[in-house]
Amino acid sequence: MELIKDDVLNIPRSLCPMMVFSYGIGSTIATAIAIKERGLYNHFMWLIEPGVLATQDWLFKKVPVENYMVKHAMKFVYSTAWIEQDREKIISAIEVDLAKPWYKRIYDPLAIAGQLFDLEWIQIPGIDICSDKGDYIRLVDKNYDLKHPSPTNINTWSQCQESYKVYGRFRLD
């Protein structure tokens, strides 16, 4: 389903958190990541409540979804298997991480080199890149087995799981 701005802003709280895959339109880095990973998306984040994303930019933080609607195409994915307690467990874990000091929420610069050279295991312990935030899925889904994934890896994994459904896609006109 194609989503317009109002559709995105009115995603029901009962479906949150949702996985969000994005592609930065016009970004050289986004294009390079998508090409290297042979995928459509270069960034992974969570819609934790209507209109609010938790995203690993230079810092892991909350941002209004409108910030991404300016230059990003986005795909929203939810799980039909998650019950309310599962959703609360993921959101609670995200909130715990968002409350950490800034130096524990920074983007892992070493992992950029690791991703570039297909050495995904090269990371600073305890520091994440955006797609490491897919690990929250592991809290409620025993099938999640990805280690140091890219956004494309998480997207491909979710497409192979019966309970993960695409809510819709937001594209820039």
Model pLDDT for residues 122-152, shown as the tens digit of each residue: 777 888 888 899 999 999 999 999 998 989 9
Give pLDDT, residue 22.
93
pLDDT of residue 124: 77
Task: List, in sequence order, every residue forming a beta bridge with 10; answer none if it has no partner.
Answer: none
Instruction: Report domain extents, the chain.
Output: 2-170
> What per-residue confidence (pLDDT) applies to 125?
82
Question: So what's the pLDDT on residue 109?
Answer: 75
pLDDT number for residue 88: 98
Q: How confident is the model at residue 79, as a pLDDT?
A: 98
Angle between helices 28-37 and 151-159 (to 10 degrees): 50
CB 59 within 8 A of CB 97: no
The predicted structure's pLDDT at residue 33: 64
What three-state secondary structure class fits 165?
strand
Q: Which amino acid would we find at residue 120?
A: E
CA dihedral 156, 162, 91, 69 (to 10 degrees): 50
Residues in the chain predicted with pLDDT less than 70, given as ranges, are 26-37, 39, 110, 113-117, 120, 173
- Token pair 């999640």: residue: 144
In the block, residue with structure tokens 């799981």: 161
User: With contact defined as beta carbons under 8 Å apart, do 129 and 107 qualify?
Assistant: yes
Q: Record the pTM.
A: 0.91
Best CATH choice for the domain 2-170 from the list 3.40.50.150, 3.40.190.10, 3.40.1160.10, 3.90.1720.10: 3.90.1720.10
Looking up tokens 């459904």 gives: 165
Distance from C-alpha of 166 to C-alpha of 12, rounded to nearest angstrom: 14
